[in-house]
Structure formats: structure tokens, C-alpha cells
Chains A and B, each alone.
Chain A
Amino acid sequence: MASTKEIKNRIKGVHDTQKITNAMYMISSTKMRKARRYAEQTKPYFDLMRREMRRMFAVNRDLKSRYYDADIDESLHGGRNAILVITGDKGLAGSYNQNVIKAALALADKSDEYKFYIVGDYGWRFFRSRGYNVEENFKHSMILPTLDMARNIAVEMLNAFDRLEFDRIYVVYTDFTGGMDAGDAVHDRLLPFDIDDFVPEGDEHASSASAVFEYEPDVETVLANVVGPYLIGYTYSALVNSYCSEQNARMMAMDAANDNANDLLASLELEYNHLRQNAITQEITEISSGARSLKKKKHQ
């Protein structure tokens, strides 16, 4: 059986670890709030951009370009695919990184040819050490996502697409649900994007789409000009969603660690008190029996 000193040390150790998990919990919640605040600022712009694109697609359903298409059969995943994978920089976030990696590998399996573009140090180490086909010059950490970061990433993906290196570009990220689960790793086709995503949802959009506009020089040129900004917006929201999911997953992992530490402390304290009581009892027995034998000796 462990001595009281050993248990005392153990209790101190658990307390120290709990301090760390507590701090990590707090840091994660602050980081998440910050990212959401930034994302909130960019929302009006991207919403308006989406609305204008929807309007243009609504008038011209049969537009076709390298960048967008309504008739891609999504069940045929084959072809040369670039896969943008958004992971975190660090572990200790439950199954967050594993889920993304699993989804990315499943997508790669379905491709004839693939190349990973990795955001986040965790994924970078994972895919590189296992010898997957990773774009070496694409290095991005998953620090607080900014618009500039999204812009750099989107431009790099767009350039690769323009060099005709890939038929399609996918993004694998984690959708932030805000609930108590880790969020789902999902994949979306970044390019060419689906016009059907822009189908008006209700009557309010249909009425605004019916307004007559002149296009100068023509719809195709205007659309081609906003493909970049659209991709940047999409990438940014994927980054923010992933980032919030990561922080949320870490918060939950740390919460669980805290609970475990509390359980552990309770049982350790119980054991410690037990030992202490035993020691006291033993001491008393020793003293009283010693005293009794002394008394007996006197009587004799």
C-alpha cells in the first residue's frame, strides 16, 4: 500500500494538471469568441455578394464556365482532385483532428489522383510523415483565421486550378454546430461550384431577381470577376467554422479532463484519510498497550 506521502504527492500532481486544463479551457473559449466576432464583421459583405451572384444565376440558368456548372454528377468523385484539409495546430481536442483526417482520406480514396493542401500543423505532420501526396509549398498554421489568410489560401487554390492541374477542388472542414458534440467533418466542392447552391430559397429572392438590369459588358465577365471574392468568402467561413469547432472540441476535452481530475481527487483524498486514520489508530493502540504493560509490571 502506498504511503501517505506518496498519495499526498499524487494529489498535488493532479491539482497541478487541473490548473493547466482549467487554463486551456478558458483560453479556448476566449479564442472562439474572438474568431466569431471577426467573422461577424465580414458577414454583410459576403451575404450581399452571394445575393448578387444568386440573382445573376437566376436570370441565366444555363451559364457554363470552368468555375461553375450545374450538371456535375457528384457521385463520380474520380479525376484529379485537390483536397484542402483544414486541421488544427495542436492535439488535445478530442476527436477533432481525427475526424477531419478520416474524411479527407475517404475523399482521396475515391479520386483517381489527389493532392492534399493542408492547413494546420497537426494535419501537416500526420500526412507528411505517412508519405501522402502533399503540396510541399503550401504551409499554413491554424492561428486565428483572418481574411488575409483566407485570401492567400483561396488565391493559391485558384492558381492551381487555373494552371489546369486539377479537375476539382474540395475542401474538408468541420462544420460548427455550436452544440456539445465535436461538429461534423464535411467536404464541399470548392471548384467548380454548383449553380444549384444559388437557387433562390423563397419568394423574396424571386422578386428581387425579376428586376431588370443591364450588364456591362456581360454577365459572364461580371461573374468571372467575382469568383475570386466568392472563393475567399467561402474559404474564410470554412476556416472560421473549423477554428470554432476546434476550440469547442478542446473546451469539451478539457471539461472532461477536469471532471476526471475531480473524481480522481475525491478517491485519492478518501484513500489518504483512510491511511491517516489507520496510522493514528495504530499509534494509539501502541501507546495504550505499552502503557498497560508498564502498569502490569508495576503491580507485580
Chain B
Amino acid sequence: MSEKSRTKKIVDDTISAALGVIPDEPGAADPSFDAPVSGHDTGLADYYIVGAEIGDTKAKTDLPVEQIWSQRKFDAKLVNPANRRKLTVIIVGTGLAGGAAAASLGEAGYNVLNFCYQDTPRRAHSIAAQGGINAAKNYRNDNDSTYRLFYDTVKGGDYRARETNVYRLAEVSANIIDQCVAQGVPFAREYGGLLDTRSFGGVQVQRTFYARGQTGQQLLIGAYQQLERQVKAGTVKMFPRHEMMELIVSDGRARGIVSRDMVTGAVEPHVADVVVLATGGYGNVFFLSTNAMGCNVTAGWRAHRKGAYFGNPCYTQIHPTCIPVHGESQSKLTLMSESLRNDGRIWVPKRAEDCDKEPTAIAEEDRDYYLERIYPAFGNLVPRDIASRQAKNMCDEGRGVGPLVKELDDQGNVKMVRRGVYLDFADAIKRLGEDKVRASYGNLFDMYAQITGENPYKVPMRIYPAVHYTMGGVWVDYDLMTSIPGLYVAGEANFSDHGANRLGASALMQGLADGYFVLPNTINDYLADATKHGGIKLDDPAVVEAVADVQGRIDKLLAINGTRTVDSFHKELGRIMWEYCGMERTEEGLKLAISKIRALREEFWTNVKVTGVNEDFNQTLERAGRVADFMELGELMCVDALHRRESCGGHFRAESQTEDGEALRHDDQFLYVAAWEFAGTGAKPILHKEPLVYKAIELKQRSYK
């Protein structure tokens, strides 16, 4: 047995042990595949292999759901405070999850190495979240409770989230608000001095805490300040402008990372007792998204390639309230907080011929407030996926507004479509007055005016859906540990809490829950045995090999010297993903997308042009590495979307809808998490199903009518 395959065997065995996988057939092709037992597998044998079922083994699911977290905290092994500083924790990412975890673990006494690609940890993209953060505080006396937040989150996620994780999220949500207030986060307050709350997309209680339109920034700065406090205290060492390029796995355990210093180009290994990835979502696979330009999947993808399963990659949230695309040079999309839907009314003209008129010139009776019409109970506050898809439907019908945008249809023909719907505050301004509206939404209105050059107090805003959040991510168990022992994933980077769709104001909650309250209480269970695993030296073969891999990949990118720029590849990948793996997916489209991505990837590795050298501040090289990983991820997303022949949450399969065009779930076939195992470059990925069991909650078909 060669060194490499021996390592692989150990990885497999350790993973199997950690996951409780049925050991007979890990990674083996599903024998029933050629004679499919269920319809959805038909004809997809070319795309993936079905492996063994997996499950979480850390949560004691025989207990009532409200006792599971307490029990887990009690059962988790502890690390003696005196031993903590001998243990090194690598945390990649400094957003709400990473920053909070680094600060908390530093505070607990561990030796923390914290990495981020930005120039300072305060810039992680959590900062851009506007709307708010949910917490089951019931300060409004409106029947809110931990259970209700749990229920809403599972329901909002279209029953595709793991019950135990979600309950814990709801349980610790109240502590988050306490923690943040203690840190000096300036939440909005009422005149009486108490915290103000508002209701947010998809729920009927007012449990969303906010800080004007920049809740994310205020929460992140809170975490950042705690992080800097630990840097000063010497427990955390920061590595800004460092990008994680590879995970180091030795004897089946995550033992460190290889980073690239983005200023000098130095490729360096860092070893530790445990590695945490808190690297955010991968929405930038679509090129145009509300993510920051630098957001990428490299950390998670590298871990996936080393054995971490990737959960539900196709679950993408398309956010309904973004500023529409202005033209082909668009580099990113700007989200406006969904809170706008609280007071704004969404409409399009009833008649297509009115679409080029000034909105104020369209009479009330000629406007179609389509969300209020179709969903009278929730109106403009329907969940994001519904609001997004209906906006697309309106535009597809030819009733969109705004400038005509060039698009290609499936046959490659050019067509001109208006991609936008109105979000109108005229009623709210009449009812509340302009000052009140300005107080609640002023900065969002300013932002809109800044970008479009239009005054939203006078004319309705134009909005259109854009890729915003990825519910999918690296598969983790209840402890947030991946299928690689010693590798944890927190925040948006993991798949755990939002199922197929995330509720508004829940991303901040999950990031901080993972960072402040979950990881610091679960990671100790692994670290308690860390001394048994022994240290790892920088000359360990696994370390040397990982560094060589990274160096090899960089050298290869620089050596191609082709004719196409990195961005042109990224844009093309994005177009494919948006067209075929966006708001509406079909088997035909996804198969086409996969073949297109494969061809594009091939071209990338032979024709990309990366200027400059490695030993420099080289942004083109940085992007090239990220796009290379996005190409692989994009294919897996399409495979996942292809295999899940049902509509759920953010994933809408045209083949699975009700007569009136609503999403149709198939709980009989798809009540599971799809955890994908990497089987080698170009090899078919292996699907491990984690069945979803709902004990505390009754499984229902979602209805917002």
C-alpha cells in the first residue's frame, strides 16, 4: 500500500467511525443503482454514486429536544484550563462565526491562530448584513418562545434542516442579544431605553433586533473588538491578508492549514490541534451576488477534497430585494434589507404596455400588487424564495419594469427583458410621514439613491432578486465537526441550520450562536483528547505534501499564460449557474450546465491568463485560485440540484410543482441531507444521505396562502 493510499484508508476509516457509517460499503456504488428503486435516480448514474447513509452521533435524539443541548454540554469532555494554552486552534475567517469563536476560545485560554484574507478582521462580509438578528426574547409579549423560533426556522427551511441543531440555535439566541449588548452593540432603542424589535420576512412575531440598517456591521464590530482584546492579551494571533490554500490532514485528522501571505506570496504551513473554518458562503460561484468580491469557497472546497462531506450544495437563497443590474460591467449586486418589505408594497403594472411608463403615472387600479393578491395572509412578507420567484414570474410574463437588459435564451438567442419590480413606499410615507420612514430606512434609501441616481422618496424603488446566501455548506454533526475529525465548520460555511431556505435575520443569529456558544462548548470534546493525538511537526510528510500541492497549483496557474482573463471565466461560470442552477432548475438545464461547466473548466486550465508572479501582491492570482475551486463546486451544485428532483425552499425544480405553480416537496423521497463525498478530480461524487427525523415538530407542506 502506497503512502498516499494508506493515508486515504485511514481517513476513510476514521470518517466512518466518526459518522457511524455502515462500514461495509463506504464510497461504494449503490448496488441498486442500475435497477433504481425510486424514480428520482433514473438516468443519473452518469453523474454520481450513492454511498452509505450517515447520521449525526453527537446529539442524544432519544431525549426531548429541549434537553439535548444541555446534555451534550454535560457529556462533552472538558479541557483543564491549565492545559488550554498548550493547545492550538486555527480559525479561518473573522466574521461573526470566526471572530466570535476566536475571541471566545482565546478568552477560554486556547492558543488561537486566526486568519482572514482582508486587511483587518473587521471587514469580513458579515458586516454587510443590514436587517437584523432574531432572538426568542419575547420582549414584545407576542407569544414568542424558543420553540416558536425553532418551529419557524425549521418551517422556513422547508423541513430540510436538522431538528436538533435548529432547536439549539433558537435556545442560545437570547444569550446572543445579552452578549452583544454587554459588548456595547448599539441596538435600536425606544424612548424608554429598552430594545426595539421588528418583525421580519416570513414570521408574525416581532423578534428581530436591529441597529438601524447596519446590524451586521455593529455585531461584527462587537465581535471584532472582543477579538482585538484577545490579540492584545496575547491569546489570539492574527494573520490578516492571509488566504487559506489547503487543509493539512494527517492520520485522518485535520492538523493545520497552508496559507498564502497575500502581500509577499509566501506559502506557509501552520499546524494546530484543531482547525475551524468559518469562511462564509459560496454565492460568488454565480459571479454576480450580494457577497463581497473576495468571498470564496476555497477553504471549504479544499477541505471537501480532503474528505469533508459537502452538504446540500444546491440550496441557494435568492434574495428578493436587490438593486437591479445596470449593465454588462456590473461587478456585484447590492442588497437592500428585506425589512423594506415591512412597509413597502411590491407591484408591477397589470398591463405589459404600461411597463415603460413613469411609475407615478400608472393609476392605482392598473397596478398589480401581486404578492398581496396571491398570498393575502402574508402579503409582501412571504418568505424570500416565494417573493423572488414571483418577481421572476412577473418579469417573464413581460410585466417587469426598468431598463431593458440583454439576455440569452437556451438556444443562445438574444432577447430584451425588463428585470425589475417596484417596491413602493408611497403608502408608508402617507401613513407614517417621511420622517418616520427616513428614521427606519433612511440609510437604505440613501444607498439606493447613491447607486441608481433616483430619489426613492419620490419614485418607487426598483428591485430584483439576486443570489444572497448559501444554505448548503460543509457537512457537520451536532458538534459542528465535519467528517474529518478535528475539522470544524461554523457559520454560513456549514450546512447545518437553515435547511433549504433561510429566514431573514437568522444568518447573524447562526454565525454568533456557532461562534460564541456552540463551538466553545463542543470543541473541547475533541481537544480533550488532543494530547493523545500528539503534536505534528512542520516536516511531517502530510505538511510537506500539502505545501507542495499549493505551490504546484500556483505554479500551474502562472504557467498557463493563455488569452482569457480570470474574470471572463468567472463571469461565464456565473451566467451558466444563474441560468440553469438559479431560481428555477430543470433536469435538462442542469445536465446542460454540467457539460458547459466541464468544458469551461477545461478551457480555464489551458487558456487562463494570470499576470505577475507569486512572490508579490497579486490579486489576479488570488482570483484565479478561487475561480478554479468555484468551477468544481459549481458542477457539484448542479449535480446536487439534478439529483434532488423536488422543489424545496430555495431549490425549485420545474418538474416538481403544484398545478398553480407552487413548489412541491417530496418528503417520501428526499427527506434527507445530501452529503457529498469527493471521489477524485473528474470522478463521480458519492452521495451519502443523512435522513432527517422530525420528532419535536410535525412535518407539514409549507403554505403561505
Q: Do A and B bind each other?
A: no
Q: Which residues of B contact A (CB under 8 A)?
A: none
Q: Which residues of A contact B (CB under 8 A)?
A: none
